[in-house]
A and B are shown apart, each in its own frame.
Chain A
Amino acid sequence: MNSETQRQQVLFLYLEHSNLDGRVVAWTFHDGAGDRSDLEGSPPYASGTAALRDGWRLIQASPVPQRMPGAERVTGRLEHEFVLERLVPAP
């Protein structure tokens, strides 16, 4: 990445299960270029794979959940988080 000419956009996708083909159930967008602070409306992609096909690069995926003994039914954070990035021209 050339920090003189490029900026990073980051997209957090939360999927319905641990497979990247899964349906997007939540999302957050951050734009290092400052063009857009958000992606409003319906999910920007139907699945994680759809984001890849649009040029996003996967840089992190949450591990498959392991339920802790004694707390098998405890729910909390969204578990299937996929972090993607895209490089765009600096403004």
Chain B
Amino acid sequence: MTGDLQLLTTAQVATFVARGFLPLPGIVPDDLNRAATEELHQVLSTWGSPDRPFAPSTGARLDEIYPDPSAIGAVLRHPAVAGALHSLLGSDPVFDHDFVHHKPAGDAFGQYLHQDAMVDPTLAFDVQLFYFPHEVLPGGGGTGFVPGTHLRRVHETDVGRYVHMAGERQWEGPAGSVVLFHQGLWHRGMPNPSDHERLMYKIRLNPTAPQRRHWDTGDLDDMQNGAEDHVFAKFRSDSVAAVLRHRERWLGEADYRLELANRAALWRYVTGDHEFDVDYYLTRTQAREALT
């Protein structure tokens, strides 16, 4: 039952599949942000001790962690937050781990670019929720991330050699913003040269069932395209494929095409439509395989 959950649209889920992240700016109200900030500081100051409030266990169901009156729990149960998580993870996701990232004003430390946490070949994916309880200004220590890197099979800081990538983003946005990451998205904690501390809460959640059509699919039939939707033949500009064709600035032509095939495979997983394709790459190969 999805009840009052504010589910994602097909275009939002397709954007997540294409780019590996989905921003939900300012969706948590200010009173809850203030309460969550206080609780996050309590968690930070008691980390690893028996005094940590509401400490969850790995493998616990999402709907059982951070019970009332936890403010963190209230954020996770906010209809827009819970709806987005349900849309991507389905019913009954479980807690993997969480952490409070605190960047004091003037903190010069920055992480190397990395992927959490081990090279991962599965189509099924975890979601990492990043919650910013206060406004993050440009250059204010917001998390750095590289859109479109989520389907690349790398391991942790193996990609730490890359310092600048065209199109890299650093989170900035209003208080109460939530950003959802595919677990494979390359990211890093950034220095905070500003005069304001930066607090961020990250929680990783695992699916426990196939992540298939859990969003508001009322617009799916209109957007879903057939395998004939092909940018080198006839194609639509309002289809799922049109969303999945988004090209990041760091992508060359060769790996862009590979990513299109990988995105199409992921869209097949989340829809169960194994005829779906983007620009015919999977379909033509399958047709030839059937001949041999």
Contacts and interface: CB of A to CB of B under 8 A. Distances in A.
Interface size class of B (residues with CB under 8 A): 20 to 34
Given A25-B165, A26-B164, A73-B258, A15 B158 contact: no
Interface string B126-148: 00000000000000000000000
Interface stretch (B53-61, B224-232, B249-257): B249-257
Contacts of B251: 16, 25
Given A14-B162, A43-B166, A25 B262 contact: no
Interface stretch (A1-9, A52-60, A77-85): A77-85
A28 B164 CA distance: 6
A17 B159 contact: no
A31 B159 CA distance: 20
Interface in B100-118: none
Interface size class of A (residues with CB under 8 A): 20 to 34
A70 B90 CA distance: 31
Interface in B152-207: 152-154, 158-159, 161-166
- Minimum-distance CB pairs A-B, first 3: A16-B252, A28-B163, A26-B165
B111 to A, nearest CB: 15
B129 to A, nearest CB: 25
B76 interface: no
Interface of B: 151-154, 158-159, 161-166, 249-255, 258-259, 261-262
Contacts, number: 60
16 contacts: A12-B161, A15-B252, A17-B254, A25-B250, A25-B252, A27-B164, A28-B163, A39-B164, A73-B258, A74-B258, A75-B151, A75-B153, A75-B259, A76-B154, A77-B159, A78-B250
A12 B262 CA distance: 27
Contacts of A29: 163
Contacts of A38: 163
What secondary structure prevails in chain A residues at the interface with B? loop
Which of B154, B251, B252: most chain A CB closer than 10 A?
Answer: B252
B255 A75 contact: yes
Contact of B152 (A14, A27, A76): A76
Nearest to A81: B161
Which of B151, B253, B254: most chain A CB closer than 10 A?
Answer: B254
